[in-house]
Amino acid sequence: KASEAIKALYNADIEPSALQVSVTRKEFTGDFTLVVFPLLRLSHSTPENTGNAIGEWLKTNVPEISEYNCV
- What's this model's pTM, rounded to 2 decimal places? 0.89
Helices 2-10 and 47-61 sit at what angle, rounded to 10 degrees? 110
Q: In sequence order, which residues have a C-beta less than 8 Å from that of residue 69 and are 6 or more positions away?
A: 28, 29, 30, 55
Domain ranges of the chain: 2-61
- pLDDT for 10-52, tens place per residue? 999 999 899 999 999 999 988 999 999 999 999 999 999 999 9
